[in-house]
Amino acid sequence: MSKERDGTQIDAPFEFRHRNPGALDYVIVSKVVLIGYPEVSDGAKVTYWVIYAHDWVERSSGERKGYAYPSLRRLAALRHTTERTIRRHLAELIGALLITRELRPGKPSVLYIEEPAGEEVEQYLRSRGRGEDKIVRTPGQKCPPHTRTIKTNKKTR
């Protein structure tokens, strides 16, 4: 196995590499939030995902609760920033309707994690060259037959 100067390997057998075991602790992010919401700063989006990471899955239902209550101090420590910056991020997220905050005097606020708004979803889909569903079926309704012909590379004799 030899290596080039830039660190790439040549003439080496394929090697399977596994992700870090800590990679199980991940957050699946919405592309609508990631790419959309131009009025929300990147810092506020990262704070949104840190808050989202506090919304763990309940064992009994297998679903997320939809809320979290991390303190400003905890969020600031996790983000390596100040509580003032976290307050600004929360103001952005509340203004964009991505977070709803319920104040609790003497305790951390409850932060309800909202789904991206319909308008933002539509704007994201338009920007990606996709529109709404063209054929909407009611539950239980069968799919219409496909009208597209599939070509194969088989030669006929």
CATH number for the domain harbouring residue 64: 1.10.10.10
The Cα–Cα gap between 66 and 56 comes to 9
- Count of domains for the chain: 1
| Percentage of the chain exceeding pLDDT 90 | 36
Would the pTM of this model clear 0.75, i.e. be above it? no
Does 8 fall in a domain? Answer: no
Does 28 fall in a domain? Answer: no
Does 13 fall in a domain? Answer: no
pLDDT score for 56:
78
pLDDT at 16 > cutoff 70: no
Read off the pLDDT of each residue in 16-34 and give the average, rounded to a whole number: 71
pLDDT score for 5:
62
Angle at 44 between CA 32 and CA 42, to 5 degrees: 65
Domain range enclosing 88: 36-127
pLDDT score for 92:
96
Read off the pLDDT of each residue in 26-48 and give the average, rounded to a whole number: 89
Does 156 fall in a domain? Answer: no
Read off the pLDDT of each residue in 46-56 and give the average, rounded to a whole number: 91
| Percentage of the chain exceeding pLDDT 70 | 66
Read off the pLDDT of each residue in 13-36 and give the average, rounded to a whole number: 72
pLDDT score for 27:
77
Does 65 fall in a domain? Answer: yes
pLDDT at 12 > cutoff 70: no
Does 144 fall in a domain? Answer: no
pLDDT score for 80:
97
Does 81 fall in a domain? Answer: yes
Does 43 fall in a domain? Answer: yes
For 69-107, how does the pLDDT look when each residue is reduced to its tens digit (9 = 90+)? Answer: 999 999 999 999 999 999 999 999 999 999 999 999 988
